[in-house]
Structure 1
């Protein structure tokens, strides 16, 4: 019997060790990027699902006249922490601000705080990064590469460190169509890029950026790849693990389904389309949209830290956190579902009926945008200007088109992200941990998820309460009929001008017009 038990332990490994929650009992955690989208979800999940955690330190940079402590208090007032404030308010007192800056030497952390972290930290989550796709290379290198190097220097002085989780991106290797869970060699070394960025003026770096970035679409994916390459060569004995999410979107589960607090990625485009401001996008509708809920990424990060701490390895475990292999959805399906739920749960004060099109033709996309976005924007701004108001629609369109341009590389291509390590990690969890820290993307029900995503944008981005829905639905219903009538009128006008020379066709056009007028009258009588 003893031999059987030992054999099972050898097979199951960490599955027979402490649970995830028990592992974090008494642990001290240090988080960079804690004020960001993913950082907030990570903080809330650790407090809610690992109640035994001792302390959590957040690296926070003072800004806009706010101290690090003031920013922390503002963060904890987010609706994301409502459940904790109600059920376990004292747990919020476990969170402390460490004043610092990821862009500065020694992370701009005071000597006292560095000593504190060095002596007490058990787990480090490094999620601080600039996620702007169009960020200048100098800034992107400073944050994503040099910031990672500075954090590693601090981690080497942490005498109690058990796990370091580095958040990368699945698209750091987007110059390949198939991406395995490994670190690929870089065509240029991190040291070379650092030397160039530090030696040259920013305008010269900007000129060289396209050549340096090479086949990658932006500085974000490029510098994330450089950071991975540097970590591979310089991690030493650090218990390092890398998590690579694809396109991170709203939460799928508790405490708030659909929670999102930024305009990044698809969120901003959905919000604009729901308001009737965005109507065309360059996209191959049949390609896979590799979207992953933020809380599933966070669950994987928490479990990955447990795994590396309880099962040491000299290798760097890599986890591609993606949906394309296990639960794929095409852009066509995703966009259709977004429009369905934006009409079912419309935003308030929309400009025009939510509708739109996607095309893989750059020429068609340009034409659509010209007539469906830019022309109406100039007309509306002209009217507002004549009435003495402040025109804004052209500026809005300019921002939307720039945001869409950043996404085009990802909406016109697709990748095969191997996630074997993620699947293996899931298999060693007990049933309770699989539920509490779920990162099994095969469980995603896209229809339900996207509906909550739209509702989340409505509630958390536009700050609209559920009570405003009836009024919003009446408005979208009116705009629907106006939209359809204008479509019919446009078609009939074109038809009329094409048939001016042919009497039978003119008569047919007149009969059709009379029928439409009659139907319109009947519609208003019924109403």
Structure 2
């Protein structure tokens, strides 16, 4: 029997960020492997006119929790949603709820975080923050990484006698195995780039092809998190241990290889209603990046918006393209570098697990087949994020063929127009043109004469 699964049985667990990508997968795994746990407290706010309970039912009715309902039919009774707002003092939790949490909670998984790289710091007046932010973050690329470091410092300084561990995942992607391959429900990480490329919006990326794409499946992160929770509570390490959950050291895959596999998958399972045929090229040159942004990104967007205006519709492509290019600029720091992370604690924990726990809570990324994972990732985006029917694949392929023919026709027309303008302005170009026409005419006459003699 799994020692880790047994450990969580009968426990009261608090999860922050339970409505987020990682938090939902963590909650699903807990219910599926430890259905006899007592309760999971989740902090949330009403959203889009929904009550807390309505939001809980919406989460439980998703595809992600289908297997949970088989092993834990009363799962909705084991979730206690508590109103909270992490932007307020004491999270705006009521005194009654706070007292319940303090007296009943056994384990806390803090997963809540902003996933925006350029969120402003909110300590002082905006004008002061804008002035001092560059000095505060120093060599760090953005406020996201800076505040992560601050959070760890606070944990280290204020933890007191609490048993605490820190888990640092790299770029979190779709599920690898559990509860099924390819599940994803947000645009963060590689998902947004895959959609942009698959829909034909993104054609060039400033990235280093040989840089390691340190993507880690979300279920791998969750398995390590639960194993760390068990180890920290049972073995009580004397210091706060940091666990790196990465793939680069054990099983590296570079951006170039990943891009090739993503494009190959689009040939088999294309996205519907693509703007252009999927294609993306890597460049590490600033001038070429600006050139491709102008020619292959902004120019087509402007042309399409002009077409929308002509047909009486609201232009939207330029705005969308500008948002995409801004997102790419924020990611450039990470897709042009490789890092090596210490995995000593992660390997130590793996050796502490029984064979059964290594199977049930598998975080050994060396077993990951990247080609298979990437294909499942693209398929998962199509099914779970874009909500596209697999029965529409033949039509999507036909649409890509039409886009290819339009592409060839447009390039041919552009070439002929450019050549015609060149002939009109250059005597040398006219001489070359007349030579080519004369040569083709003589060649055609020769073949006609040869065929006449044979007859």
Given the two structures, how large is their TM-score scaled by the length of structure 2?
0.91
Secondary structure of 2:80's counterpart equals strand
User: Offset of 1:495 from its aligned partner?
Assistant: 7.1
Q: Is 1:500–2:429 an aligned residue pair?
A: yes
Contact 1:327 1:444 in 2 (8 A): yes
User: Offset of 1:356 from its aligned partner?
Assistant: 1.8
Q: Is 1:130–2:132 an aligned residue pair?
A: no
2:170 to 246, 252, 260: 246
User: Offset of 1:491 from its aligned partner?
Assistant: 6.2
Structure-1 residue corresponding to 2:452: none
Describe how 1:388-403 pairs up with structure 2 within 5 A: 388-403=312-327
Contact 1:278 1:373 in 2 (8 A): yes
Secondary structure of 1:320's counterpart equals strand
User: Offset of 1:504 from its aligned partner?
Assistant: 7.2
Q: Is 1:93–2:17 an aligned residue pair?
A: no
Residues 141-165 of structure 1 show CA distances to partners (whole Å, capped at 9, x for unaligned) of: xxxxxxxxxxxxxxxxxxxxxxxxx
Describe how 1:457-468 pairs up with structure 2 within 5 A: 457-468=381-392
Classify 1:505/1:49 alpha carbon distance in 2 versus 1 (closer, same or farther; 3 Å): farther
Structure-2 residue corresponding to 1:33: 17
Structure-2 residue corresponding to 1:63: 47
Quote the Cα distance in structure 1 between the aligned partners of 2:437 and 2:36: 78
Classify 1:489/1:387 alpha carbon distance in 2 versus 1 (closer, same or farther; 3 Å): closer
Q: Is 1:51–2:63 an aligned residue pair?
A: no
Residues 3-42 of structure 1 show CA distances to partners (whole Å, capped at 9, x for unaligned) of: xxxxxxxxxxxxxx97111111111110000000100100
Quote the Cα distance in structure 2 between the aligned partners of 1:438 and 1:105: 38
User: Offset of 1:87 from its aligned partner?
Assistant: 5.0
Q: Is 1:309–2:293 an aligned residue pair?
A: no
Classify 1:75/1:508 alpha carbon distance in 2 versus 1 (closer, same or farther; 3 Å): farther
1:359 to 279, 283, 286: 283
Residues 301-343 of structure 1 show CA distances to partners (whole Å, capped at 9, x for unaligned) of: 0000000011012200110100110010111111111111122
Residues 121-179 of structure 1 show CA distances to partners (whole Å, capped at 9, x for unaligned) of: 111100111110010111xxxxxxxxxxxxxxxxxxxxxxxxxxxxxxxxxxxxxxxxx
Quote the Cα distance in structure 1 between the aligned partners of 2:148 and 2:277: 39
Quote the Cα distance in structure 2 between the aligned partners of 1:134 and 1:113: 33
Contact 1:21 1:52 in 2 (8 A): no
Structure-2 residue corresponding to 1:13: none
Query: Where does structure 1 lack aligned partners over 5 or more consecutive residues?
Result: 1-16, 139-196, 516-527
Structure-2 residue corresponding to 1:417: 341
Q: Is 1:275–2:199 an aligned residue pair?
A: yes
2:67 to 76, 83, 95: 83
More displaced, 435-444 or 490-499? 490-499
Quote the Cα distance in structure 2 between the aligned partners of 1:317 and 1:123: 17
Quote the Cα distance in structure 2 between the aligned partners of 1:203 and 1:220: 19
2:138 to 198, 214, 217: 214
Secondary structure of 1:73's counterpart equals helix
User: Offset of 1:391 from its aligned partner?
Assistant: 0.6
- Answer with 1 or 2: which has the greater Rg: 2
Quote the Cα distance in structure 1 between the aligned partners of 2:335 and 2:439: 44
Quote the Cα distance in structure 2 between the aligned partners of 1:492 and 1:340: 32
Classify 1:510/1:227 alpha carbon distance in 2 versus 1 (closer, same or farther; 3 Å): farther
Structure-2 residue corresponding to 1:385: 309
Given the two structures, how large is their TM-score scaled by the length of structure 1?
0.79
Secondary structure of 1:500's counterpart equals helix
Describe how 1:470-509 pairs up with structure 2 within 5 A: 470-484=394-408, 486-487=410-411, 497=422, 500-503=429-432, 507=436
Contact 2:57 2:76 in 1 (8 A): no
Q: Give the aligned CA root-mean-square deviation in angstroms.
A: 2.3
Classify 1:18/1:451 alpha carbon distance in 2 versus 1 (closer, same or farther; 3 Å): closer
Quote the Cα distance in structure 1 between the aligned partners of 2:78 and 2:19: 16
Contact 1:251 1:258 in 2 (8 A): yes
Structure-2 residue corresponding to 1:42: 26
Query: Where does structure 2 lack aligned partners over 5 or more consecutive residues?
Result: 445-455
1:437 to 352, 355, 361: 361
Classify 1:309/1:421 alpha carbon distance in 2 versus 1 (closer, same or farther; 3 Å): same
Contact 1:85 1:92 in 2 (8 A): no
1:259 to 163, 171, 183: 183
Classify 1:343/1:238 alpha carbon distance in 2 versus 1 (closer, same or farther; 3 Å): same
Quote the Cα distance in structure 2 between the aligned partners of 1:502 and 1:483: 30
User: Offset of 1:236 from its aligned partner?
Assistant: 0.8
Classify 1:511/1:430 alpha carbon distance in 2 versus 1 (closer, same or farther; 3 Å): farther
Quote the Cα distance in structure 1 between the aligned partners of 2:169 and 2:66: 26
Count of matched residue positions in the alignment of Structure 1 and Structure 2: 438
Classify 1:124/1:503 alpha carbon distance in 2 versus 1 (closer, same or farther; 3 Å): same
User: Offset of 1:383 from its aligned partner?
Assistant: 1.2
Classify 1:479/1:387 alpha carbon distance in 2 versus 1 (closer, same or farther; 3 Å): closer
Quote the Cα distance in structure 2 between the aligned partners of 1:420 and 1:245: 15
User: Offset of 1:420 from its aligned partner?
Assistant: 1.5
Secondary structure of 1:124's counterpart equals strand
Quote the Cα distance in structure 2 between the aligned partners of 1:435 and 1:510: 72
